[in-house]
Structure formats: structure tokens, C-alpha cells
Amino acid sequence: MSTNMGRMFAGILVQFAEWELHTISERRTKAMSVMRREARYPGGPYPFGYEPFQDGAYWYLRPHPVYAKEVEQMALALVSGKATVSISADLNGRGIPTVKAQQAKPGKTYTWTAETVRHILSGDQIRGYVMHSPDWRKVPPVRVVGADGEFVRREPLIDDELWFKVQEVLTANARPKSGIRFGASLLLRVGFCGYCGGTLHRVNRNFPGGQGSKFPEGKEYRYYHCQNRRNELKGSQQKCDKPGSVPQDALDDAVSAKLLEVIGGFELTEKRLIEGDDHTATLKRIGMQIADLTTQHYVNNGVPDFHTRMAELEAEHARVSALPREKPKVRRIATGKTFRQRWEEMDDEQRHAYLKSTGVHALVVRNEDFTMSMVSEKGTQAADDMVLDIPMNVVTEVGDKRVVSIGLGTLREQLQHVEAI
């Protein structure tokens, strides 16, 4: 280093080392790209529900024999009306380890959270798609495209139909005042004040017990109050205390009993999407092949018969584009279960989410203020024009002081006649 010749050789060595470093990085990047396109496992963290396995010289991911079923159960629980907090609490209660816990060093512990559940269920990885991002913390991952122009997929944990249902529920639950929350009362944002339209909120009260008191010591009482009565207590200008304190159990039981009485014996149907064919996937595959052929020809030293192959692909793209397109159709399919059977299978949290999703609402007033203008006698019809004797609203008493008018929302559209069971 003390002579010009020494400094020249040192500079050459430094430049050679930098060149080798960049070459190693490029080789590793290309190798990782090949591994992703072949759905191979490169090591490191992997999605919950999968496990690594070796096949010959390479490693891959496959559904875990136990935890893959947990992903499906999470999805089904969410669709059935469970909140993500409830799902995470159930996983923690049953001792199901998170994906970090499975891969963590001894001594480290991780627990399930609502955010962890949402992250897993909202991702494409549970559908089997191989994902890639240069920096997962800053750049959202994208699906990896294979050499054939199709997205690379491994064996999925849930099918596409269930995944899309999950996304609808996650989107709906993320809206402000969705009412879907852990431990929510049955009629949160389902029950309303019949005077001002305010939401009925649950209020827990403890009365002092002891000698001479009509309230047992230590017992908690739950009531529904109009939200504007609560606002009154906070100094709001909008005030309403006409419904008073409505016992929660009495109102919940009255609504449940009336629904079972009126529609319990009808069979439920569900919407089923019959996929059309607009040739989007085929056109996308051909487009990827055109792009790949162009890249190989102009970047990677040319392709034999490039113009002939390009003309064939363009002609095929034009032919598929000219084919007739079938639009998707929606049909109602019988579920084989009556409303009563479905209701008895659910807990209160799921029942609440079900009532919310079907637009059921309950208006509560005092007996002396009830009028028939709160009730519609209009019935509904099934798809085959067979009249179902189901009104738009039903009325029942809540104790001896109040009346509740229940609007059935879209429940009427989901019902059809069945033989007595």
C-alpha cells in the first residue's frame, strides 16, 4: 500500500470483491425467484396452517394435519357471526399455538389476538397462493406468477367460496357502528326506541341488597336504555326516557320466542353464485405469455421464430376476446334446515350477527303508546309465486308494560315452506 503499484492492486481487489458481492446477490435473487415459481419453501417463517416437508432435494409447504383445520374453523366461526376477539380467545383457551410460537425459540411465548386472526383470514396465503414482497413490513405482498402465466398455488387451506364470504364479513365488521363485537348483547343495533329511533344499549346495574331490600345482595341486573337517555345523563340536548329501563332478558326472550313462533318452521335458503365465464383468466394467461415472450426476445438474446409465435399468441388472444361472455347468476338454494334449527345451533353472539345481517329490527314502546301504524300486514312471496303467510312485522308483549314490533327484514326472502318436522 506504500507504492503506486500496491495501491493499484488493492483497488483491483476491492473492485473484484464488490463485483463478487453483487454477483452473489444476483444469483441468490434469481434462485429465490425460481423457488417461488415452483412453490418451494426457502426456509424462514411460513403461514399458519402449513408445515415444511422435504421431497427429494427440495423443501415444500403442505397443510398441517392439525392446524390446517383450525384455519377453516376460524373462517367458519367468523362467517357464522363470531367476533375476531371471540375467535382469538377460543384459540388461546384451547392452547393452539400461533405460527410464531411454533417457530419460536424455547422460552418465548406468543398469544392470539384479534388482529392476528384478521391478518390470517384476510390474506391470500390460506387460499394457497405463493406471495412475495421485497419488504413485507413496507410493501404489500403480491401473488407470484409462474412460467405458464398463471398464479402459483399450493394446496389451499380453505376454498375460494368460503374465502370471499370471509372478506365480506371482515369488510362489514370494519364499518363504524357495525355492532359486531365481543360480548355484544343480542339486540345491539337491532333494538331501537319506538319514540325517537335511538339505539337500545345495555346497562348493567347493581342495587344494594341486605335486610329490607327487594334486591338480592350481589346480583347484577341488565337493562336496555335508549341511547338518548344515556345522552341526557351526559348533558346532551336530545333527550328521551319514554321506554324507561327495559329488562334485557325479557326483551331478548320476547323477540326470540316470537321469531320462533312465526317463522321457526320455515326452511332457510341461501344465495349461491353460479359463476359465469368472461374468459378473464384465459386472456390474462395469454397476456402473460405475450409479455414473457417479448422479454425473452428483447432482453435475453432473442427467441427463434419470435414473430411466428407472437402472431399465434395474438391471434389466440383475439379469438378468445371474441367469444360470448356468460354473466354470473345468483340462485337461492335450500339449506335443509329450518329457522328454528339454525337458531338453536347458534349462541347469542352468532344470533346477534345473524339478526344484524338480515336487517331485523325491533321497536319498543309502552303499551299505552302502541298503534297499529307500527305494523304492516303485507306478506311475502317465494320465487315460485307460492304465497308464504309471513308478515313484514310481528308484534309481541314484553312483560306487562311494553310492546315490541319486530321487522323481519330480509328474513322473509330466505324462507320457504317445508313439510312438518
Q: 263: which residues sit within 8 A by CB, 6+ positions away?
A: 339, 390, 408, 411, 415
| Residue 7 scores a pLDDT above 50 | yes
More confident: 290 or 376: 290
Cell, residue 375: 305494523
Distance CA 140, CA 287 (A): 24
Q: Model's pTM, two decimal places?
A: 0.65
Q: State pLDDT tens for residues 159-181.
A: 988 998 899 899 988 877 665 66
Average pLDDT over residues 340-359: 90
314-321 own/partner pairs: CB under 8 Å, 24+ apart: 314/290, 316/286, 317/283, 317/286, 317/287, 317/290, 320/279, 320/282, 320/283, 320/286, 321/279, 321/283
pLDDT band at 20 (very low <50, low <70, confident <90, very high): confident
pLDDT of residue 282: 85
pLDDT of residue 27: 76
* Burial call 355-380: b when 16+ CB within 10 Å, e when fewer: bbbbebbbbbbeeeebeeebbeeeee
Q: State pLDDT tens for residues 50-69.
A: 999 999 999 999 999 999 99
Q: Which of 78-82, 299-303, 324-328 has the lowest mean pLDDT?
A: 299-303
| Residue 92 scores a pLDDT above 90 | yes
pLDDT band at 193 (very low <50, low <70, confident <90, very high): very high
Distance CA 140, CA 415 (A): 42
| Residue 1 scores a pLDDT above 60 | yes
Cell, residue 34: 425460481
3 state SS of 258: helix
More confident: 67 or 29: 67
Question: Do 408 and 390 form a contact (C-beta atoms < 8 A)?
Answer: yes
pLDDT of residue 63: 95
Residue 135 to residues 199, 231, 367, Cα–Cα distance (Å):
45, 47, 63
Q: State pLDDT tens for residues 284-314.
A: 888 888 887 887 777 766 777 888 889 999 9
| Alpha helix stretches (DSSP H) within 38-83 | 67-79
Distance CA 290, CA 321 (A): 15
Q: 314: which residues sit within 8 A by CB, 6+ positions away?
A: 290
Question: Do 388 and 216 form a contact (C-beta atoms < 8 A)?
Answer: no
The helix-helix angle for 280-299 and 306-321 (nearest 10°) equals 160
pLDDT band at 419 (very low <50, low <70, confident <90, very high): very low
